[in-house]
Amino acid sequence: MGSKQSLFENPDLTGKVVIITGATTGVGKSLAAFIASYNPKKLILAVRNRAKGEATLDFISSRNGHHNNVEVWDMDLADLTSVKSFAEKFIKEVGELHLLFNNAGSAPIELMQPKNTKNNFEVTFQVNYLSQFLLTNLLLDTLKKSASPEFPCKIINTNSKEHRLGTIDFDNFHGHKSACHIYVNTKLMGVIFSNELNKRLRGTNVLSLAIYPGLIKSKVSHLYNKNRKFNKKLFHNLCMLFAKSPDYGALNILIPTFSKGVHHFGYNYYENCKEVKPNDKALNEALAKKLWDYSDILLKSKISYCPTYTSFSSSFRSLRSLKK
C-alpha cells in the first residue's frame, strides 16, 4: 500500500458532509476509516446491519483515535421505501452533501436461484443499480446546492472492469430469468448511469465518477466462491493470490476522487487510478436515455417517486414503448 499512498495527498474535508454506503466490510470499511481521518463535518454510514455499523465505528476509532464525526444511519438497499426514508431524513436533518460514495454491492451466489426483494426485483439488480439510482436522484438537489467551483461535489460509484461483459436486456431487465449474468449487467448499468448523470449535471459543479477498486480480498469474494464448481473455484483461488488489501482498493477510489487534473478524456471511469475508456455500450447516448427512463418508470411502479432531475426524461412513456 505504501507506493499507492505516496501518490495521494490527504484532502481536508473540514465543513464537508459525506455519505458512504456499504461501509461495514471490505473496501467500504477502509474507505470509511480514510474519510473519517480527513476531518469531515459529518460522515454518515448508511448501513443495513446496525451491529456491523457500530463495529465499523470501533474500527475507525482504532485506526484514527476517534469517530466523533461519524454517524450510523439505517438504510436497506433491498427496500426502496428504506432508501427513500433515508434520503428524506437526510435532506430534513442535514440538508447539505458534498460527497456521495455509492459503494454497496451484491453478487448472486452461483448455483442458487435468483432471490427477490420485497419490491419483487432480483436482489443484485436492486442493490447494485436501482436503489443507487434512486438514492442518487433523491439527493441530487442537495448535492447541487452544496457544490461550488472551489469544491465541486462528487458522486463516486464503485464499479468493476467486468462491466465490459455486461448487456442491457430490457426483456429481462431486472434478472428474474437467470442469475448468471446479473452482476456484470448491473455494473454496466452503473457506468451508463454515471455517464448519463454527468450529461445532466453540466454546469452544476457536480461530477459523477465510476471507479474500479481492483481485485480485492474480501469476505464477499469468499462467500461468492463457496458454491461454485471445482474448476471455477480453483481459478478463483488462483486469482485471489494476486488480490490486494481493502486499504489498497480504498485508495484506488480516493485518488481519482481527490486528485486534481485526472479527468482528461471525459469518460470519468477509472481503473488503477487511471481514466480509461469503458465498454462502448456505456457511451451509447440512446441506450443511456432509455435506461434512465426505464428506471424511472420501474421506481414509480413501486413507490411514490418524484425525480429531482428530469430535463432529459420522458416520464410519461409506457413500459411497452420503452421496449420497442
Q: Are 243 and 215 in contact (CB under 8 A)?
A: yes
Catalytic residues: 183
Residue 20 CB coordination number (10 Å)? 27
Residue 295 domain flag: yes
Residue 147 domain flag: yes
Number of domains in the chain: 1
Confidence label for 259 from pLDDT (cuts 50, 70 and 90): confident
CATH of the domain at 218: 3.40.50.720
The residue count for the chain: 324
Cell of 76: 436497506
* Domain region containing 234: 14-323
DSSP state string for 122-145: BHHHIIIIIHHHHHHHHHHHHHHH
Residue 242 domain flag: yes
Residue 155 domain flag: yes
Residue 291 domain flag: yes
Q: Are 143 and 198 in contact (CB under 8 A)?
A: no
CA 283/CA 267 separation, integer angstroms: 8
Residue 8 domain flag: no
Q: Are 38 and 11 in contact (CB under 8 A)?
A: yes
Whether pTM exceeds 0.75: yes
- For the stretch 5-60, pLDDT in tens is 555 668 999 999 999 999 999 999 999 999 999 999 999 999 999 999 999 999 99
Residue 206 domain flag: yes
Residue 3 domain flag: no
- For the stretch 271-317, pLDDT in tens is 999 999 999 999 999 999 999 999 999 999 999 988 765 444 344 34
Query: Residue 17's beta-bridge partner residues?
Result: 42
Q: Report helix, strand or coil for 18.
A: strand
